[in-house]
Amino acid sequence: DQQVKQNSPSLSVQEGRISILNCDYTNSMFDYFLWYKKYPAEGPTFLISISSIKDKNEDGRFTVFLNKSAKHLSLHIVPSQPGDSAVYFCAASDGNNRLAFGKGNQVVVIP
Amino acid sequence: DVKVTQSSRYLVKRTGEKVFLECVQDMDHENMFWYRQDPGLGLRLIYFSYDVKMKEKGDIPEGYSVSREKKERFSLILESASTNQTSMYLCASYSGYTDTQYFGPGTRLTVL
C-alpha cells in the first residue's frame, strides 16, 4: 500500500507563475519530509525538506508547507522558471533512514 | 559536497546475463540504498545496507542481490537478467548530518 501519494501526475504552468505540487501521506509516524527534483537521465537531487515540528520551510523560490492534521504537504515554486521543468518526488521518513517516495509529478514550465 | 558515482550511465545486456551495477560514495556514509525508477511507479527500494557486510531487503528484492565489502562501495547484482529488469537504477547514500539521501546519476539498464 502506497504510503506517500502524489496525485495529478503532470502540471503545466506559465513562466513566472506559481507551481503548486501536492503530496499526501498515510503513516502518522512520518516526521521528516523531503522534495527531490529529477531531470531525465539524471539522479534525483535534494531540493528542500521540512521537519514535523514546523509547518513551513522556505528556500529561495521554493517553499514547503506541512499540514500534519491533514497529513498533507505542498511545494510552491514562485516564480516558476523553464529550468524548473522536471519530475518532482515527495518523500517521507519515520526516522529509520529509509524514505518512502511518491510516484512523482511532471512539471512543465512554458516560456 | 556529497559525491555518489555509479559505474555506468547506460548498459545493454542480454537475458540471462549476470549484471553488476556499482556505486561509490566518498563521504564515509554508513547507509546506502539501491532503487529502481519506472514510469508511473516512482522510486522503489530494492535493497539497502547500513554497514559493511550488512544488507536488508527493500520492497522489491526479488531477482536481485547486493554486496557491501567496503564502506564506500555498494554493488547491485542481477544474477540472471530478465527483460522486466529493464529500468533506471539509482544508488543513494544517506547523511545522518543532514538527514538526507543523496543520489548518484543513475544507470539506465536495458535487457534484451
The string of DSSP codes covering B47-110 is EEEEETTEEEE-S--TT-EEEEEETTEEEEEESS--GGG-EEEEEEEEETTTTEEEE---EEEE
Mean pLDDT of A93-109: 90
Q: What phi-psi label fits residue B91: left (phi over 0), alpha (psi between -120 and 50 degrees) or beta?
A: beta
Mean pLDDT, rounded, for A6-21: 93
How many beta-carbon contacts under 8 Å exist across A and B?
49
Distance CA B95, CA B29 (A): 6
Q: What is the mean pLDDT of residues B84-93?
A: 96
Residues 6+ apart with CB under 8 A from A103: A2, A5, A6, A9, B40, B41, B42
Does A34 reach chain B within 8 Å, measured CB to CB?
A: yes
**With an 8 Å Cβ cutoff, is A86 touching chain B?**
no
Tally of CB atoms within 10 A around B32: 28
**In this model, does residue A7 exceed pLDDT 90?**
no
Of A95, A73, A85, A104, nearest to A8 by C-alpha is A104
| Nearest-CA distance B47 → chain A (Å) | 11
Which pLDDT tens digit goes with each residue over B24-69? 999 889 999 999 999 888 899 999 999 999 999 999 999 999 999 9
Chain A residues inside the 8 Å CB shell of B104:
43
Model pLDDT, residue A90: 96
Q: Do B96 and A89 touch (CB under 8 A)?
A: no
**Of the candidates A51, A18, A48, A30, the residue with the CA atom closest to the CA atom of residue A94:** A30
User: Between A95 and B109, whose confidence is greater?
Assistant: B109
- Residue A94: pLDDT band (50, 70, 90) is confident
Q: What are the Cα distances from residue A11, in Å, to A14, A110, B59, B112?
A: 10, 11, 28, 33
User: Alpha carbon of B52 to those of B29, B30, B70, B88: distances in Å?
Assistant: 11, 8, 6, 25
Chain A residues in contact with B99 by the CB 8 A cut-off are: 32, 49, 93
A91 falls in which pLDDT band (50, 70, 90)? very high
Distance from CA of B6 to the nearest CA of A (A): 10
